[in-house]
């Protein structure tokens, strides 16, 4: 127990140090940071404007109102943003780190490999997602369409953490292919962009797509399904339970796959 | 004229070759952008299912299906983002090389964009287009468009391409003033996808906004050719729309020359 505790402390301290270094680098390019943030924020606003124009034509979409869709839209951004902020460096495995042989330096250090990968970078662009998500959720709460009681608040927090874990797992899984095929970026991009489907109620899609985004690349469990629990009283809390199970299951698979990949990693020379 | 072509055509063929060598990644990216079309498709199907009238914003359900996918084909061909290249050239410093060569930087960019456009037209564009046509006739039971409207569509697309590229040239000039163009590019993409009618037909916008759009070049970039293809513009309106595209090509060309002259002057000062 004592042993475990000190390991945790050591990693925590290391994380702080590494991120501290990274933040210094960010501060040097503040304009870039704000431009990126603004650009991102703006593209989200366009997505909402689109929904607004559509709802000028119809009262509800398969039983969902404009306000409810805004909540789903906003809710989807939070787990996405958390994952984006903390684990953005996974993309670099898919695109660059493996093929350039830069993975060597992780292998040389006596630390957990996954920890080293994510500790190298924080992605401040993600604040755009978190900002848009928070604004939309607060707006929805102020309109009184979100169910608020102690259970829902607790499950809300659990749900966004599980959602972020699902994102991380999917990213890690597709990025790990790079250990075999050297560059897996395009595949990761395809998988990641499947999340776009989950911004709307999945009932609108045909069965195959619905199955795909619910059980194969389970983005529906990050956005639409848990969000519906917070909007409709008749949706049972089991949906959050299933979300957690999926998150843990996918994480175990991805992490095992990542470990398998690192075990066969051969440097391309650095 | 022939000498000019001899100078600039290699830009086109090089770009074509370059694109051909990255086929794999290219198809995957095309697949990703098709996701967007499918999401719109299902979303619109649900929207029409929930609406009492069969016509929204002047579009019947079948027309909307064609619209969604033709917008995809048109915009994938037309929107060649040369601002990215300009920004690369400026950041890497290779733009100075382009300045000392006896050629026009903008024309070389346009010819390079032409290579990109041709590739996108040949690779997925035309096949998806045929796919849409087959679907339209077999499943939706609509007629083939006549030869004339196809020719007008292609003519309109060529002008759309010029409008987009010339606009993007002006936009790319920002990279001479700031190196932080990444965020700007995001804003541009978002704004254009909305204003060109890629996300939603312009007829869905409130009347007053539509009047404002009449004085902006964006609807001429994607919306006009697709509307021509759908046969929404006829007779006088059709001529007016094509004329408007023509005028935008001229205005943006002149504007580009003006900005370029100012920018290169500034560069000379810095270089001295």
Q: What is the 3-state secondary structure (H, E, C) of B113-147?
A: HHHHHHHHHHHHHHHHHHHHHHHHHHCCCCCCCCH
> Which among B56, B185, B199 has CB closest to A50?
B199
Q: Check residue B270 and give its pLDDT.
A: 47
Q: Do A43 and B186 touch (CB under 8 A)?
A: yes
Do A198 and A222 form a contact (C-beta atoms < 8 A)? yes
Residues lower than pLDDT 50 in chain B: 269-272
Question: In which domain, by residue range, is B110 found?
Answer: 2-271
> Which among A42, A56, A203 has CB closest to B190?
A42
**How many structural domains compose chain B?**
1
Is residue A270 domain-resident? Answer: no
Is residue A16 domain-resident? Answer: yes
Query: Which of chain B's residues have a Cβ under 8 Å away from the Cβ of A62?
Result: 46, 49-50
Which residues 143-202 on chain B approach chain A with CB closer than 8 angstroms? Answer: 178, 180, 182-187, 189-191, 193-194, 199-200
Is residue A160 domain-resident? Answer: yes
Q: Do B204 and A54 touch (CB under 8 A)?
A: yes
Tens place of pLDDT per residue across chain A (270 aa) = 556 678 888 888 888 887 787 777 677 667 777 777 887 888 888 888 988 998 988 888 888 999 999 999 999 999 999 999 899 999 999 888 888 888 888 888 888 899 888 888 888 778 888 998 999 999 999 998 888 889 899 999 999 999 999 999 999 999 999 999 888 888 898 899 888 888 888 889 999 999 999 999 999 999 889 999 999 888 888 999 999 999 999 999 999 999 999 998 887 665
Question: In which domain, by residue range, is A196 found?
Answer: 2-264
Question: What percent of chain B is predicted at pLDDT more than 70?
Answer: 94
CA distance to A81, A180, B122, per residue, from A84 (Å): 5, 24, 36
Mutate to test the interface with A, among B31, B37, B42 (most CBs of A within 10 A): B42
The packing angle between helices B61-78 and B126-138, to 10°, is 170
Mutate to test the interface with B, among A41, A45, A58 (most CBs of B within 10 A): A58
B112-143: buried (b, 16+ CB within 10 Å) or exposed (e) per residue?
bbbbbbbbbbebbbeebbeebeeebeeeeebe
CA distance linking residue B257 with residue B201, whole number of Å: 32
Q: Do B185 and A205 touch (CB under 8 A)?
A: no
- Whether B94 has its CB under 8 Å from any CB of chain A: the answer is no
Q: What is the 3-state secondary structure (H, E, C) of A186-229?
A: HHHHHHHHHHHHHHCCHHHCCHHHHHHHHHHCCHHHCCHHHHHH
Q: Check residue B156 and give its pLDDT.
A: 94
Q: Do B184 and A39 touch (CB under 8 A)?
A: yes
Is residue A84 domain-resident? Answer: yes
> Which among B32, B43, B205 has CB closest to A204?
B43
Do A129 and A84 form a contact (C-beta atoms < 8 A)? yes
Per-residue pLDDT of B182-212, as tens digits, reads 778 888 888 898 899 888 999 999 999 999 9
Per-residue pLDDT of B112-123, as tens digits, reads 999 888 888 887
* Residue with tokens 């020359």, as numbered in its chain: B257
Please tell me which residue of chain A has the smallest CA distance to B184.
Answer: A39
Q: Do A204 and B35 touch (CB under 8 A)?
A: no
A135: number of Cβ within 10 Å: 14
Q: Does this complex have an ipTM over 0.90? A: no
**How many structural domains compose chain A?**
1
Statement: the pTM of the whole predicted model exceeds 0.90:
no
Q: Do A58 and B50 touch (CB under 8 A)?
A: yes
Q: Do A57 and B178 touch (CB under 8 A)?
A: no
Q: Check residue B271 and give its pLDDT.
A: 44
- Whether B272 has its CB under 8 Å from any CB of chain A: the answer is no
Query: Which of chain A's residues have a Cβ under 8 Å away from the Cβ of B193?
Result: 46
Is residue A151 domain-resident? Answer: yes
Question: Two tokens at B4?
Answer: 């000019």
* Residue with tokens 């590494």, as numbered in its chain: A18
Q: Strands B59-60 and B55-56: what pairing?
A: antiparallel
Q: How many CA atoms lie within 13 A of A4 on its CB side?
A: 1
- Whether B47 has its CB under 8 Å from any CB of chain A: the answer is yes
Question: Two tokens at B189?
Answer: 């993409």
Chain B nearest-CA distance from A80, in A, is 18
- Under the phi-then-psi rule, with left for phi > 0, alpha for psi from -120 to 50, and beta for the rest, what region is B55? beta
Do A247 and A166 form a contact (C-beta atoms < 8 A)? yes
């Amino acid at each position: 127990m004592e042993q475990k505790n000190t390991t945790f402390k050591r990693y925590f301290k290391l994380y702080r140090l590494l991120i501290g270094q990274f933040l210094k680098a960010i501060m040097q390019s503040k304009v870039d940071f704000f431009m990126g943030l603004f650009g991102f924020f703006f593209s989200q606003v366009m997505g909402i404007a689109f929904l607004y124009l559509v709802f000028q034509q119809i009262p509800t979409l398969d039983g969902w109102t404009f306000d409810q869709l805004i909540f789903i839209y906003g809710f989807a951004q939070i787990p996405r943003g958390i994952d984006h902020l903390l684990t953005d460096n996974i993309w670099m495995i898919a695109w660059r780190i493996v093929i350039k042989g830069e993975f060597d330096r992780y292998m040389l250090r006596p630390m957990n490999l996954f920890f080293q990968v994510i500790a190298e970078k924080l992605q401040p662009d993600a604040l755009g997602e978190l900002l848009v998500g928070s604004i939309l959720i607060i707006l929805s709460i102020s309109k009184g369409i979100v169910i608020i009681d102690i259970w829902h608040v607790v499950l809300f927090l659990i749900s966004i953490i599980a959602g972020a874990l699902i994102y991380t797992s999917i990213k890690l899984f597709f990025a790990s292919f790079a250990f075999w095929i050297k560059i897996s970026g395009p595949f990761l991009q395809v998988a990641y962009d499947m999340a776009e489907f989950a911004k709307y109620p999945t009932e609108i899609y045909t069965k195959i797509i619905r199955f795909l985004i619910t059980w194969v690349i389970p983005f529906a469990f990050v956005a639409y399904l848990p969000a519906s629990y917070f909007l409709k009283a008749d949706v049972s809390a089991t949906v959050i339970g299933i979300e957690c199970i999926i998150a843990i299951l996918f994480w175990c698979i991805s992490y095992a796959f990542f470990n398998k990949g690192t075990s066969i990693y051969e440097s391309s020379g650095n | 004229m022939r000498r000019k072509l001899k100078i600039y055509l290699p830009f086109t063929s090089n770009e074509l070759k370059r694109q051909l060598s990255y086929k794999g990644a290219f198809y995957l990216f095309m697949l990703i952008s098709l996701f967007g079309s499918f999401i719109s498709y299902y979303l619109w199907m649900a929207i029409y299912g929930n609406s009492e009238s069969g016509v929204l914003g002047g579009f019947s359900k079948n027309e909307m299906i064609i619209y969604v996918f033709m917008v995809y084909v048109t915009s994938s061909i037309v929107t060649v983002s040369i601002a990215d290249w300009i920004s690369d050239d400026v950041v890497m410093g290779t733009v100075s090389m382009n300045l000392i060569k006896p050629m026009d930087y903008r024309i070389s960019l346009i010819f390079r964009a032409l290579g990109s456009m041709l590739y996108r037209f040949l690779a997925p564009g035309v096949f998806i287009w045929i796919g849409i046509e087959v679907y339209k006739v077999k499943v939706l039971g609509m007629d083939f468009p006549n030869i004339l409207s196809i020719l007008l569509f292609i003519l309109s697309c060529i002008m759309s391409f010029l409008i987009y590229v010339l606009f993007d040239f002006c936009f790319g000039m920002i990279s001479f003033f700031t190196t932080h163009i990444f965020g700007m590019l995001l804003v541009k993409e978002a704004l254009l996808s909305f204003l060109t009618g890629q996300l939603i037909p312009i007829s869905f916008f409130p009347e007053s906004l539509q009047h404002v759009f009449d004085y902006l070049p964006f609807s001429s970039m994607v919306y006009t050719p697709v509307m021509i293809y759908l046969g929404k513009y006829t007779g006088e309106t059709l001529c007016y729309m094509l004329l408007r595209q023509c005028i935008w090509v001229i205005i943006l060309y002149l504007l580009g020359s003006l900005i370029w002259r100012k920018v290169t002057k500034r560069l000379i000062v810095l270089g001295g």
